[in-house]
Structure formats: structure tokens, C-alpha cells
Structure 1
């Protein structure tokens, strides 16, 4: 039977594990983080309910890939959260999207590309390119409802 146990000894770096063992591999890996935000919008040139002002609780999921640093980390989840909070969410959460986003019809299809571009720009800043080895946005998925989403993928965004 497996039960809860307290470890006998907490592993110590340079004593029980060597620093060169922290990085297990040299492969590209992807991490994912999701966030929610609430916002209002309406659609132009649209004949349906969404032509009226209404709101959603959106969910956005980021897939970010790169290579590990010497600690075995690609990017800290807290760093993704900081980028989201300080560089992207400020334009979205509890906002009227038709005012805060660039001129566009605020469809999920338009918005997901804008969010992708904002995260890509944030990761491409000089200090972050040095800190996160080869970090790139693999995908952004924007849920407008629990069952409906739009997605932008790196391979689609990088094609002219």
C-alpha cells in the first residue's frame, strides 16, 4: 500500500545532485499556460446577435517552446504570467474591445492573431531572448465560449 511519507532527507545541490545534472536533455520543449479575462465587444458588418454589445469570459492558452537553461527550465510559468498581466491583459480585461484593440472587427479570429503578435513581441525583446533560449510562440488558442475557439499557430503566422 502506498501512503504519505515524509522524505528522510531533502536533496541538496552540489551534495546529492550535481549542477550539470539539473539539465536532463537538450531537446526543444513546450510549456503551456492559460488565463481568463472578461470583456465586452460587438461585431461590425454582422447580421446576428453579436452585432449587439455583449460580453464574454474569454480563455486564452499559450504554447511556448524553447530550450532549457542550466537549471532545466525553459521559461518560468511566473514569467509568462508577468508578460500576460503587464503587456497583454491590460488591453483586454474588463475593457470594451472595440476601443482598446487596434482598428479591427473584434472577432475571435482577429483577436487571437493580435494576442499571438503581442506575446511574440514580448518574447523577442532583447533581454528575454538572452534569458529564454530559442523561446517562441507555438500557438495561441482563444476561447470565446467554453466550446468555441480560434487558434493561431506559429507555422501559419510566419508564412507571408
Structure 2
């Protein structure tokens, strides 16, 4: 059972940071897109589409609000730098020249996010995971760079 607080807590002037370690946060997005594969002898050789699920994970030291990265900042990177190339697009035209496999795409997404992250507090990208179907994904991690 939830009880209604008698008053809202107010800052005391002390640090709001409890964790003094690096923390990872992740945000998930979905987008629909069409593509076809080159040099592939299977049904994905033909034009087809997916509802992709994208996970972007970044880490950093906490700021004075006790946040590593605001989820809204990750969303802004997605909206401004990824979504225009991915959502409801023909990926073979909207992405740089590549075979539009999940493996190639996840690396391109990783590089785009890394390029647009804030530079303070050692914020860095940890991984990008791209689901092509509910049970099949590709992933690229910072330590593999």
C-alpha cells in the first residue's frame, strides 16, 4: 500500500550523488525499414522489411543531479542523427554504401552515437544492439573498437 507523503523532500545542499562509480544507462527505440542483401543466396536477397528494435547503452560518471546521461539526450541523438536515415527508409539508399546486414548497421549506428555524445564526465558508448526480429540481433561493443 502506498501512503501519501506529508510533504515533498527538499534538497539539503548536500550532494545528491550516492553512487560515485561509472553507471550505464540504455534506451530502446523501434523503427520500420526495408532493405535487401547483396551476395546472399536466400530469401533476404529480395526486397523486404523489418520492425527493428534498437538498444543504445552509454555510461558516465554521475553529474550533480545524480544522472550519468539524461535519457532525453539519447533520444535526441536518435531523433536527429539516426531516425532520418532509418525509420521508414529504404536502407540501401539511406545508409552509406554497404550490405545492409544487421552487423554492418549496428557498427554504423555505434559510430554515429559515439560522435554525438556529450564530451563531459567521460560519457562513452558501451554497446549498440540491433534486433532484426524478436529473436535475432547483432551487437557492437566499445571494447571491440
TM-score normalised to the size of structure 1?
0.88
Query: Alignment partner for residue 64 of structure 2, among 70, 81, 87?
Result: 70
- 1:25 is displaced (CA, Å) by 2.6
Q: 1:25 aligns with which of 19, 22, 25?
A: 19
- 1:4-83 alignment runs, 5 A limit: 4-14=2-12, 18-20=13-15, 22-83=16-77
Question: SS of 2:18's equivalent?
Answer: coil
Out of 146-155 and 70-79, give the one that drifted further.
Answer: 70-79
Residue 94 (structure 1) aligned to one of 88, 92, 107: 88
Counterparts of 1:152 and 1:146 in 2: how far apart (Å)? 18
Taking the aligned partners of 1:137 and 1:97, their CA distance within structure 2 comes to: 23
Shift of 1:155: 0.5
Q: Deviations over 1:132-155 (max 9, x none)?
A: x11111100000000000000000
| Cα-Cα RMSD | 0.9
1:129 partnered with 2:119: yes
- Return the match for 2:134 from 126, 133, 146: 146
Q: CA separation in 1, counterparts of 2:50 and 2:14?
A: 47
Question: How many residue pairs align between the two structures?
Answer: 145
* 1:19 Cα deviation after fit: 3.7
Q: Does the 8 Å CA contact 1:19/1:71 hold for their aligned counterparts?
A: no
Cα displacement string for residues 26-75 of structure 1 (whole angstroms, at most 9, x for unaligned residues): 20110011100000000001111000000000001011011011111111
Per-residue deviation at 1:5? 1.4
Rg: which structure is higher?
Answer: 1
In structure 2, what is the Cα distance between the partners aligned to 1:134 and 1:142?
24
Q: TM-score, normalised by structure 2?
A: 0.97
What is the rounded CA distance, in whole Å, between the counterparts of 1:70 and 1:48 in structure 2? 53
